[in-house]
Amino acid sequence: MRIIVIGGGISGLFIAYELLKRGIRDIIVIEEKYLSAGGSGRNIGCFRSSFTSPEHVILMKRSIELWLNYRSELGLELKQSGYLWIARKPETLEIFEKLSVFHRNYGIPTRVLSIDEVEHVQPGLNKDIIAGALFDPTAGRMPIFENLVKLYLKLKTLGVIFHFYTKAIRLNSSGYRVKSAITSKGEIYGDIFIVSAGGKGTRELLATVNIEFPVIDETRHPIITEPYAEILKPALIIDWDTPGAPYVTQTEHGGIIFARNIADIPEALLTSHRIDVIGLTIKPIIELLPILKYVNILRYWIGYYETTPDHHPIYGPIYPYENLYVAAGFSGHGLMMGPITGLLIADWVLNGKPSIPIAENLTLERFKIGKLVKEIAIVG
Ligand SMILES: Cc1cc2nc3c(=O)[nH]c(=O)nc-3n(C[C@H](O)[C@H](O)[C@H](O)COP(=O)(O)OP(=O)(O)OC[C@H]3O[C@@H](n4cnc5c(N)ncnc54)[C@H](O)[C@@H]3O)c2cc1C
């Protein structure tokens, strides 16, 4: 059986890895550009399971367990130093209390912190403007490129074929079976086709077999500084009560990354940089952690949150086709979901259903029957 995976990002890599582990040997990955050219090479490397929908919480919790296993299995690196959700308003703490109860019901030990406790987690915060915080000690961050390259090299060693700089232009079907992908470098035949080509890439490719895929690429504008000694203790600090939820993280190499959700033209180009982004993003964070006013900005890039109407990914079979599957639309959380994405898609392809039943709620069918899932904890 030959399986064609379209998209060489974290989803495509983990799908290939999980299929290999289950005995599939003939796997081809088709990538329009280079390894992790999409969101997988433009994100900030953080993970958590402290979401607000049972779907996200259950799947992300399992995904983190898998990431932790992959430390020994694949030599991947990650550190659980926690997420700190800062509340500026006292009433936000009541919402955090409810969320914490919800998380603990699923075994995620988040807790609400007083101002003094917050300072213990991150020294130097401006205590005059904060009311407290929600802390998730199981969340964390990882060196993205190191992990991606390790996974890629493992897949190559195990025989996965990668076609880089090869764009899948359209899918070629006969009845309800996809026969081949017509690419910029010729036609590639397969038995099963899995599209994990990010937001717009997936939408455009599925449109060639008359499937409407509701996703839009929203720009995000992360800014990185020169490397510094460790300033940030938690993996991520989020300014929850400021619109656009500005956040800050520090990479394994010392660079401090700031970002915020800023209104922009939908699907603006990756080269449409804006000078106003810098002040808008950094100001609220410096207000929270004044020492950051001394840092030197190095550069800023644009990436996309591949956003679906309910901020959850779209997984699974694409009906009425019998051999077409999708994993896309992660709405800004696809890196952390990589391992669970691989597991679920391999389940669907090889067993016809996911081994974690709640994942059934995330198929494309939910938009047809109007059963959207709700998530409010979207960072930046
Ligand atoms: C600023 C920012 C911060 C983020 N932070 C985090 C975070 O901390 N944690 C987290 O979990 N997520 C984060 N994300 C989201 C995360 O990066 C994405 O959800 C994830 O990388 C999606 O992975 P993917 O493999 O599904 O898609 P992509 O990485 O986008 O991969 C899809 C690939 O398909 C290729 N492609 C597209 N069309 C075609 C075609 N027709 N033929 C062949 N190939 C094609 C593309 O070139 C691309 O390489 C962030 C995103 C941004 C922009």
Q: 245-278 pLDDT, tens per residue? A: 999 999 999 999 999 999 999 899 999 999 999 9
| Residue 133: strand pairing partners | 86, 113
Can you tell me the distance from the alpha carbon of 30 to that of 318, in angstroms, rounded to the nearest whole number?
19
Q: Which atom of ligand 1 is nearest to the CA of 236?
A: 8
Distance between Cα 32 and ligand 1 center (Å): 13
Per-residue confidence at 379, pLDDT binned at 50, 70, 90?
Answer: confident
Peptide bond into 357 cis (omega under 30): no
Burial 256-284 (b: 16+ CB within 10 A, else e): bbbbbbbeeeeebeeeeeeeebeebbbeb
Exposed/middle/buried for 369, CB within 10 Å: 0-12, 13-18, 19+? Answer: exposed
Q: What would the mean pLDDT of 172-183 be, rounded to a whole number?
A: 97
Share of the chain above pLDDT 90, in %: 98
Q: Is the pLDDT of residue 287 over 80?
A: yes
Mutation test residue for ligand 1: of 141, 335, 379, the one with most atoms within 8 Å of CB: 335
Q: Is the pLDDT of residue 198 over 90?
A: yes
Asked if 127 and 115 touch (Cβ cutoff 8 Å), the reply is: yes
Mutation test residue for ligand 1: of 31, 299, 311, the one with most atoms within 8 Å of CB: 31
Per-residue confidence at 375, pLDDT binned at 50, 70, 90?
Answer: confident
Q: Which atom of ligand 1 is nearest to the CA of 196?
A: 26
Q: What is the pLDDT of residues 70-120, one digit of tens each?
A: 999 999 999 999 999 999 999 999 999 999 999 999 999 999 999 999 999
End-to-end CA distance of the chain: 41
Distance of CA 329 to the CA centre of its chain: 9
Asked if 26 and 3 touch (Cβ cutoff 8 Å), the reply is: yes
Protein residue closest via CA to atom 22 of ligand 1:
334
What residue ranges line ligand 1, CB within 6 angstroms? 6-12, 30-33, 36-40, 42-47, 167-168, 196-198, 201, 205, 220, 222, 259, 303-306, 328, 330, 332-336
Mutation test residue for ligand 1: of 28, 36, 44, the one with most atoms within 8 Å of CB: 44
Distance between Cα 123 and ligand 1 center (Å): 33
Q: What is the pLDDT of residues 351-360, one digit of tens each?
A: 999 999 999 9
Q: What would the mean pLDDT of 288-302 be, rounded to a whole number?
A: 97
Protein residue closest via CA to atom 3 of ligand 1:
43
Q: Which amino acid is at 288?
A: L
pLDDT of residue 380: 74
pLDDT of residue 374: 85
Q: Tell me which residue has tokens 């090479």.
A: 41
The closest alpha carbon to 29, from 159, 140, 137, 146, belongs to 159
Distance between Cα 33 and ligand 1 center (Å): 12
Can you tell me the distance from the alpha carbon of 326 to that of 318, in angstroms, rounded to the nearest whole number?
7
Between the CA atoms of 170, 196, 251 and 247, what dihedral angle is there, to the nearest 10 degrees?
A: 100
CA distances to 22, 236, 277 from 244, rounded to whole Å, are: 41, 15, 12
Torsion over CA: 162, 166, 171, 172 (sign): negative
pLDDT of residue 376: 78
Distance between Cα 12 and ligand 1 center (Å): 10
Asked if 137 and 80 touch (Cβ cutoff 8 Å), the reply is: yes
Protein residue closest via CA to atom 46 of ligand 1:
38
Distance between Cα 64 and ligand 1 center (Å): 18
Q: Is the pLDDT of residue 184 over 80?
A: yes
Look at domain 2-45+145-215+308-368 and name its CATH class. alpha beta
Q: What would the mean pLDDT of 123-133 be, rounded to a whole number?
A: 97
Asked if 205 and 7 touch (Cβ cutoff 8 Å), the reply is: no
Per domain, the residue ranges of the chain are 2-45+145-215+308-368, 83-137+222-301
Q: Which amino acid is at 57?
A: V
Mutation test residue for ligand 1: of 40, 60, 148, 302, the one with most atoms within 8 Å of CB: 40
Q: Which atom of ligand 1 is nearest to the CA of 35?
A: 49
Q: What is the DSSP letter of 79?
A: B
| Residue 327: strand pairing partners | 315
Mutation test residue for ligand 1: of 13, 30, 32, 136, the one with most atoms within 8 Å of CB: 32
Q: What is the DSSP letter of 43?
A: S
Protein residue closest via CA to atom 41 of ligand 1:
168
Q: Is the pLDDT of residue 284 over 80?
A: yes
Share of the chain above pLDDT 70, in %: 100
CATH topology of domain 83-137+222-301: D-Amino Acid Oxidase; Chain A, domain 2 (3.30.9)
Protein residue closest via CA to atom 18 of ligand 1:
334
Burial 38-77 (b: 16+ CB within 10 A, else e): bbbbbbbbbbbbbbbbebbbbbbbbbbebbbebeeeeebe
